[in-house]
Structure 1
Amino acid sequence: MPSVFSKIIAGDIPGHFVWKDDQAVVFMTIEPIREGHVLVVPREEVDHWDDLPPALLAHLIKVSQAVAKGLKEAYPAKRVGMMIAGLEVPHTHIHLAPMDSMGDLSFEHAHSVEAAALAAAAKRIRAVLVKQGHAEAQLD
């Protein structure tokens, strides 16, 4: 059975995307720990990140790096944190979130956000990524 992320990628469930390419997508999480929290997800459904083909893992890191630079501009913070947790959905995903302290990366801060706020955040991040030269963010 497809994961919830596969359903989002296929368009069966709504998602607020900031990046799409042939190997990966980036979309807003519906329960962010900080404003600007996104998920970098391979199109291929692989449960454990350490089972990813090395080239795909490298691509996810490259996408994460580009999106992190966009997040730094869209949501200024000391750093953009990166986490691979993977317990909540059996489909590899990388969490990227602006952070000013280690406590900012705690999932205890996760909270539901209205779709309109997620759409606005995605638009804000896409605008920065497009300005930075990433055609993968031109989704409109």
Structure 2
Amino acid sequence: MSTVFSKIIAGDIPGRIVYQDDTVAAFLTIEPVAYGHTLVVPVEEIDKWTDIPADLWAHMNEVAQNIGRVIVDEFDAERAGYLIAGFEVPHAHIHVFPADDMSGYSLANALRADDTDPAKMDSAAETIREGLKRQAAK
């Protein structure tokens, strides 16, 4: 059965994708702890991060680190938070988000999808896309 993440990657349902290649995709979560909160996922449906092959895991982390750099630079965040949770969707994913303190590490503090501002979500996605392009150009 296809996960919601696979449906976003395939374009079957809307998603704010900020990065995608043949093996990894990254898109904004619909329930962010802060605008810019991004999920980095393998394209292949793998439930547990501990089951991801080492080379794919390394690539996912490289993508997460690049997004984290953009988040720190573009969202004026003290740090880029990094979290693996993964009970809500059976598709491994890394959360990367702007963090100024530990509150972002509690997903209970996330905005509900209905409480997010679509314009701010679109702007955050575009900011990350543009930041990744600038990084690649260096």
Once the two structures are TM-superposed, the CA of residue 133 in structure 1 deviates from its matched residue by 1.5
| Structure 1 residue 129 corresponds to structure 2 residue 119 | no
- What's the counterpart of residue 47 of structure 1? 47
Q: How many angstroms apart in 2 are the aligned matches of 1:115 and 1:28?
A: 12
Equivalent residues in 2 for 1:107-122, closer than 5 Å: 107-111=107-111, 112=113, 113-122=116-125
More deviation in 110-119 or 90-99? 110-119
Aligned residues: 134
Unmatched tracts of structure 1, length 5 or more: 135-140
Contact kept? 1:42, 1:93, Cα under 8 Å? yes
- What's the counterpart of residue 137 of structure 1? none
Moved over 3 A (4+): none
CA RMSD of aligned residues (A): 1.2
Contact kept? 2:35, 2:121, Cα under 8 Å? no
More deviation in 49-58 or 109-118? 109-118
Q: Helix, strand or coil: the match of 2:14?
A: coil
Contact kept? 1:34, 1:109, Cα under 8 Å? no
Once the two structures are TM-superposed, the CA of residue 104 in structure 1 deviates from its matched residue by 2.4
Contact kept? 1:32, 1:110, Cα under 8 Å? yes
Once the two structures are TM-superposed, the CA of residue 6 in structure 1 deviates from its matched residue by 0.3
